[in-house]
Structure 1
Amino acid sequence: MPLSPDQQAEIDTQRATPSQTLRAVAPGMEAHLYTAHEVLDHGFVRVVDYMGDDAAICQAARVSYGRGTKSVSNDEGLIRYLMRHWHSTPFEMCEVKLHVKLPVFVARQWIRHRTANVNEYSGRYSILDREFYIPAPEQLAAQSVVNNQGRGDALQGEEAARVLEILKADSNRAYDHYEQMIGTDGQDGLARELARMNLPANIYTQWYWKVDLHNLFHFLRLRADSHAQYEIRVYADAICNIVKDWVPAAYGAFEDYRLGGAILSGPALSVLRRMLKGERVEQEDSGMSKREWREFMEMVDN
């Protein structure tokens, strides 16, 4: 189950005892506080704390006092200008702290984004739970033949069932051995920090992840993309839904200029201009490699 009974009890207590504050609050984000949004089979994302809102972005950009200086429409226009022209500092004035439960192999992808503060559940100090990510059958796919780090067609029938059985059996066997190694019934027991090395990468871990909005948008631009691995993309999608309620104007600009936008290289821009003039352009005379050309055509055809 995503939340342990102790975690749920703590959250229920916190939700039942709200505090009055003089700081700026975002009503949409307040609704997400102390709520765990389930992801995958045992994971979740929940907001622990946050700072700032759309007005804080504008306040920082204008270096003003108070909540904005003009109207909501002007604030939204300013935010879109900042996003459009890659002004990052005002977005760094907003921060969020998330509690995330995720498989270890997803965490190792996630930690590549080194612009956050992270504190992870300690397998040296505590005993890890017997919880493993087992993909849904439709997520079991063969290796892609065009992308060395992607998936191809989904496995079918007996092959999919065989893979699922291997995943389940190996996960439980590894955890059985983990328990045997740390056990102290009739033996000293191996240190937890050593025994954990036998656990598979699909076991769940947890961490607190604190990041500013600028770097969060960078994370989401990469991980909410359709080309990202499914298991991290669903976490990014859950966070997108939270951010959309927290800073709606900033998220709208991010959605338009980053998620829904595209960056063109010099050769790609030159090709696009030639196409707009009615010229027929082929990969051989485009100045782009075959892979660049394929990616470019996918972008303009969509």
Structure 2
Amino acid sequence: MALTPDQIAEAQALRATPRPTLRAVSEGMEARLYTPHPVLDHGFIRVIDYMGDDAAIVQAARVSYGAGTKKVSDDAGLIRYLMRHWHSTPFEMCEVKFHIKLPVFVARQWIRHRTANVNEYSARYSILDREFYIPEPGQLAAQSTVNNQGRGAVLEGAEAARVLEVLKRDAATAYDHYEEMLSQAQPDGTPQQGLARELARMNLPMNIYTQWYWKCDLHNLFHFLRLRADAHAQYEIRIYAEEMARMVADWVPLAFAAFEDYRMGGVNLSAKAVAVLKRRLNGEVVGQEDSGMSKGEWREFVEVWG
């Protein structure tokens, strides 16, 4: 993980000068503010700012009940109700802003979540660092034979070593050429104009690191985590999501507990799946052929229900 000296100094200064506030404060998130948490070989994620806490979710939900209405449930119960019945607006009252350093190919997958505000480090104005994501040997795997998006068996021996060497060599060569194109002098010292940064960057590989600020409300952040912190998500984005989830658990513990229970730990059933379960409970033996489900649906059903 590499923060610049200026970023380190900024984080230290901000943590050293706390300020009194009338805003709602989450003690768990205050402990997280500005501190970078390492991810992958050179990446990190840190919280830059946040708004709201569990109480903000409850406040937003109860505002529509009208003055004088009794609180018939405690905060945890209300939050669980909101999560259980897929209410979204109260969770949108909380927001968080992250500073994230990540490989470009992960960023391109991440940006598919179009419900955040994003500002990325610009390689038009600045020169990218010589930092590349090189997987650990245990993350080098063959293509899955049952999932077009997934990994299969881990590569071993000479094949794994060859792949790692190719990744390292190609990344180094591409960056060398990037520097040569930017330079105003050829290797022998002959002056040259040097290629514009916005053009030279096209030669860089997808495993080079970029950085961005990513701001999102809690409702959409939960949606991101449900997909990307899932065991089926690609490893490289999943461990960012898992680190982010630990931060969210400290920020809004009641909401995160409900999210874990109903979204991460829960299961959504189709009408056909409900019908199969009812038939099974009545003692009937049901197979894929008479379930009304496709093979893919049935495989996913069996993974959960046996």
TM category, shorter: over 0.9
Which shows bigger deviation, 4-13 or 79-88? 4-13
Partner of 1:299: 304
Could you tell me how far apart the structure 2 residues matched to 1:70 and 1:282 are?
Answer: 48
The residue type equivalent to 1:176 in the other structure is D
Which shows bigger deviation, 165-174 or 12-21? 12-21
Could you tell me how far apart the structure 1 residues matched to 2:82 and 2:197 are?
Answer: 49
SS in structure 2 of the partner of residue 206 of structure 1: strand
Partner of 2:227: 222
Could you tell me how far apart the structure 2 residues matched to 1:225 and 1:15 are?
Answer: 32
Alignment of 1:191-230 (within 5 A): 191-230=196-235
Could you tell me how far apart the structure 2 residues matched to 1:154 and 1:5 are?
Answer: 38
Cα deviations by residue, 1:44-75 (Å, 9 ceiling, x for unpaired): 1100000000000000001189xxx869x700
Q: CA deviation at 1:2?
A: 2.9
Partner of 1:61: 61
Could you tell me how far apart the structure 2 residues matched to 1:45 and 1:62 are?
Answer: 33
Could you tell me how far apart the structure 2 residues matched to 1:132 and 1:4 are?
Answer: 16
Partner of 1:127: 127
TM value normalised by structure 2: 0.95
Could you tell me how far apart the structure 2 residues matched to 1:126 and 1:191 are?
Answer: 11
> How many residues are paired up?
297
Could you tell me how far apart the structure 2 residues matched to 1:70 and 1:85 are?
Answer: 18
CA RMSD across the alignment: 1.3
Partner of 1:283: 288
Alignment of 1:154-193 (within 5 A): 154-185=154-185, 186-193=191-198
Q: CA deviation at 1:4?
A: 2.0
Could you tell me how far apart the structure 2 residues matched to 1:85 and 1:20 are?
Answer: 37
Q: 1:259 aligns with which of 260, 264, 268?
A: 264
Partner of 1:140: 140
Cα deviations by residue, 1:84-129 (Å, 9 ceiling, x for unpaired): 0000000000000000000000000100000000000000000000
Could you tell me how far apart the structure 1 residues matched to 2:305 and 2:209 are?
Answer: 39
Q: Is the 8 A contact 1:102 1:204 kept in 2?
A: yes
Q: CA deviation at 1:235?
A: 0.3
Q: CA deviation at 1:26?
A: 0.3
SS in structure 2 of the partner of residue 174 of structure 1: helix
Q: CA deviation at 1:142?
A: 0.3
Cα deviations by residue, 1:233-279 (Å, 9 ceiling, x for unpaired): 00000000000000000000000000001111111111111111111
Could you tell me how far apart the structure 1 residues matched to 2:71 and 2:298 are?
Answer: 45
Q: Does 2:15 align with 1:15? A: yes
Could you tell me how far apart the structure 1 residues matched to 2:100 and 2:144 are?
Answer: 29
The residue type equivalent to 1:2 in the other structure is A
TM value normalised by structure 1: 0.96
SS in structure 2 of the partner of residue 225 of structure 1: coil
Partner of 2:188: none
Q: Is the 8 A contact 1:2 1:38 kept in 2?
A: no
Q: Is the 8 A contact 1:45 1:100 kept in 2?
A: yes
The residue type equivalent to 2:62 in the other structure is R
The share of aligned pairs that are identical, in percent, is 75
Could you tell me how far apart the structure 2 residues matched to 1:164 and 1:25 are?
Answer: 46
Partner of 1:42: 42
Could you tell me how far apart the structure 2 residues matched to 1:237 and 1:295 are?
Answer: 23
Q: Is the 8 A contact 1:133 1:202 kept in 2?
A: yes
Could you tell me how far apart the structure 1 residues matched to 2:85 and 2:103 are?
Answer: 36
Partner of 1:106: 106
Detail structure 1 runs of 4+ shifted over 3 Å in the superposition: none
Q: CA deviation at 1:9?
A: 1.3
Q: Is the 8 A contact 1:2 1:101 kept in 2?
A: no
Cα deviations by residue, 1:211-254 (Å, 9 ceiling, x for unpaired): 00000000000000000000000000000000000000000000
The residue type equivalent to 1:20 in the other structure is P
Q: CA deviation at 1:136?
A: 0.3
Q: Is the 8 A contact 1:50 1:97 kept in 2?
A: yes
Q: CA deviation at 1:296?
A: 0.6
Could you tell me how far apart the structure 2 residues matched to 1:274 and 1:33 are?
Answer: 52
The residue type equivalent to 2:89 in the other structure is T
The residue type equivalent to 2:100 in the other structure is V
**Structure 1 unmatched ranges of 5 or more:** none
Partner of 2:25: 25
The residue type equivalent to 2:101 in the other structure is K
